[in-house]
Structure 1
Amino acid sequence: MPTIPSDGSNSPTGTTHSAGTTVTYKCDEGYTLVGPESNTCLLNDTWTENTAPVCMQNCPDPPTSSDLLVSPNSPYVLDDVVMYSCVNQAAVPSVMYNLCQSPAGSLEWAVQDAPTCSDADSCGPPPMIASDGINPENRDYADGSVVRYQCNPRRRLLGSDFNGCTDGTWTDAAPRCIQECKDFQDCTIIVDYDYCSNTQYTLISEEYCRKSCNVCTTCGAPPAGDGVSVAPAGPYVQGQQVNYTCASGDLSYTVNLCLDDGTWLFEQEPTCSETDCNNLPTNPDLINTPSGSAHNNGVVVTYSCPEGFLQLPPYNNTCSGGAWSEGEAGQCLKLCSDPSPVGSFLTVSSVDFPIELEPYKDLITNTVVGITYNFNCTGGRLEGAASITCLSNGSYSAEQPVCVPDCTDLPTNPNLINTPSGTGHNNDTVVIYTCPDDFVQVPPFNNTCEGGAWTEPDAGKCLKICPVPELGAFLAVFADLPIELMVYANYITELVSGVTVHFGCTGGRLQGASSATCLENGTFSAEVPVCVPDCPNMPTDPNGFNTPDGTAHNNGTVVNYNCTEEYTLVPPLSNACVGGNWNESEAGKCLRRCDDIFIGEVDQLLNGFFVIPEDVMEYAQFLAGAVAGVGINFNCSNGNLLGASSTVCQQNGTWSENLPECLADCGPPQLGNDLELVTTPAAFTEGVMVQYQCKNGADIGNVISTCQADASWSLTVLPSCGP
């Protein structure tokens, strides 16, 4: 590979690379790349570029100031020329041009100090050559400016070729251009009309004459962009100067010079600032927003592509100074679907990019027009095109090929999974058979391709698993295998398709199918039967439970009744299944119990008694306390009852009324002959108070006596009413 010289590097590194590799050149900091930026290794083992670029040392930035404009922009290398102009258009620079040179082995500018811009003490236009010459620009020049004169081809300058503006005055008069022609030959060029005054010229029109002399160097059309005018018109010969003008806006530079080697002093096109841009670069299928090919200065046009295309840069373009920032538009490349190898062993061996897409290789992540896929087989033989290319209509140049394996038609069965997949495989390939989770696999478990044939003519099988039937009371089951599955008996540990299950009862009678077969969908051919017991529908109480539980039992079973903690069980206490019938038509009853706190109080304080309803009376011997429906009637021996006269045990376990009280009876208090009661109560019971007064009206104060719980009065000494 052509490698970069010193002061640079290439990536990836090395001098030998595989076909399709693009090597990018890069210069060290402080150097500029001159030549190709990248190089691609082609399929024919050659490189797209025969020579490597050169890394040229950068010149320092030319001397300048905030008053100056410098064109063109950096970077600069040896022999580059820059032109100065002033930010203030009314001013002129003291020096218009500067040259990067190397007089002592190091790069420097011919003019070391930045030019000055001044419109004070300026000189007017310099004196001009009368004829046959190339004059400086016809304008005012600042003090200190230097201009240069040149002659047209075949003319020699007589006088100084430089003139300076000093203190507002040009130091010299204009030189003259005199005729000079050497070594006449048979050649033809077009020269100015004035040359025809010499006998060596022949007039061929009013404007041109033919001259025979040595060949002069000519330049092509000077660089000029849209909106820039050039004067004079061509043809152009060495030493000739042209002037640029803009239809609107200011030029980045105004003059150019045809050099002796046939090139122009400034190769970059001059631009007009603050002007519109025409002829927007575009490409087929590319969409630009905003639309149109002409736009105002400063407008940024965004490129995009329709769906089904891949976009390549540049992604936008800016109108700046009458020119587009990007000389070429982005591209829309038609997309093709990425090939996906079909069948075993087919692989993509390599991908070829067309040379024009190599610079964008890192950006292309999908298959686009021009990309070629090359195929090969890791086993078997290739059948079809060895390569296919993405076309501009989004299709491929040929159908995708296939790899025909050595062994075809691999034996298989429904639900069987083979690894590797596919029905065709290469010699010596071992295919492993497996089944999904809800299947039982029976052999063979693998198959081998040997000499173009499979070692196993039949594939393994996947037998669908049926769930184990849920067996009710007394139901028994056994299974048998069909003849075709007997050979796999050692592998079958589940109920699988083809197995028949037989049912029987250890008690009671069978109701439903006596057998069911597991089907290929994982269900049975019939529902699981039940064993109907000898005695169904055993009587029960909602507040109790029975042991053993259940309401259906076989002949001879004795069931014991029980109640929960808050209830009392009354007969029958058990039930037996005899000859298909229950010997008790009703279950034992669970009667709700009430709190026993009343019982002692009734016996000790109250002359009370229990009232038991008839439906409970028959169970009286089983009752250790009051149950729902049992009542208590209260009566005091002295007749002084305070509260309800009765209460009943309720279904929620509470009493309907609180416990009453029997009040003590003190009887009428002693009065004597002199005393009487202020008021006489209806009864002289516990808690009643009486007030005494004298019959004769004597004042004895507030004398009160209270009937106490022990049936005595609190006042033991009666008051006296006097003599």
Structure 2
Amino acid sequence: ALQWLLALLLLALPSAYGDCGEPPSFAFAELTTPPEQSYRVGTQLQYQCRPGYVRNGNESPVVTCLPNSTWSEKPDFCIGKSCGQPIITNGNFHVETNLLLGATITFSCNVGYLLLGPASAQCVFKNGDVYWNNIPSCEIILCPPPPEIKNGHLLSGNTDFTFGMAASFSCNKGFSLIGEDTIYCTIGPNHNGTWSGAAPECKVVRCKNPDVKNGRRLSGFGTEHTYRDSVSFECNSGYRMNGSSVATCEANSSWTPPLPVCDEILCGAPPHFPFAKLLTAVGDSSKFGTKLNYQCNPGYEAAPGKSSVLTCQENETWSAADPDFCVRQQCSPPEIKYGKVTGKNPPFPFETVVTFTCDSGHELIKSSAKCVASENGVHWDPAPPYCSIRPCPMPPEIPNGNYNGQGKAFFTMGMFVRYTCNPGYYLVGNAAVFCRPSGNWSKPSPRCEG
């Protein structure tokens, strides 16, 4: 009995014979026949698209029970119906996926239009068809009437002003329009129509006839000046402008920026040069165009081709002088009799110091000299001579004898004297002695013996 019960249970299980269980369920399709609990291998079931869906091309709506007791997999053989492109005048729709059942789109309006209604819609199925559940509208944006202005009027006339339209104004005769003569209908922060700016004003504007001391007018030569009239100036020679050269008559009947001032151009104290001085005294300030003439100091002379004139310039500075427009004068080589200059060679410019050496047999009178300025140029100080002959003292006296040249006042290098003895005495040694370069007599002196 237990064996028969087991056999019956095996017959009740579909997998025992390779059967399939309940068929798959699709959101977009349903079976054409009532479903059963199990199906034999090879059974084919047909589906039909649910309302709101249509066949997807040639995709078959049939599934088959396979030997492994599973149903064959099928792609989406039904797809949602298309709601089509929505119509939104003066606006656009934006698609994220497609236009089929279940899809969502968003809307936007053209510039100057306001979206009325929901900003999105969904493709839904109802009453046997698909459609967009919410389609908004785009309404044109209107601005309020332009404001009225006193002493003026609107040129555009009576009309409705929509986004982008302009309202232009004009003032009555004798009045000036202050502000923008045209304003535009634009979109405000709350997507409402608003004007791009405030309406202008019509005012009487009169600016005083401008005058700039030490300057002259270049434009705007009339005597009456009203709103937005401009004048321009330049300063006279010798003056520099402080401020703007152009001023405009503004709504408050004043010139903006303020009229300029022409300040006198003054240069400061003149430059100092160690080698030159001014011909005339100059204070701490000089007018534009002032010329300064420099004269070379004693010991200097004008350099060829170089100017010693400076001029006060527009930028309140003195023009640059030629470098070294005065050069040192030169002393001629010193005249040195019996000697020479040591340590320096020509040229000998002003303030040069030289030293001397003397020839043999001579001695220094002045060991050095300096090139100094004089009234008409330069000269050596002290003046020559610088070397003198070195004399020997009077020849030495010898007892009982004499030398020739008794009447001479001095003896110099190379001179000699000859000795003779008195009667009864004879000479021992050289009869003559010489004056040597060192300024003394040769040795030994002779003697007289008796």
TM surpasses 0.5:
no
User: What TM-score do you get using the length of structure 1 for normalisation?
Assistant: 0.26
TM-score, normalization: structure 2? 0.38
Structure of greater relative contact order (alpha carbons < 8 Å, 6+ residues apart): 2
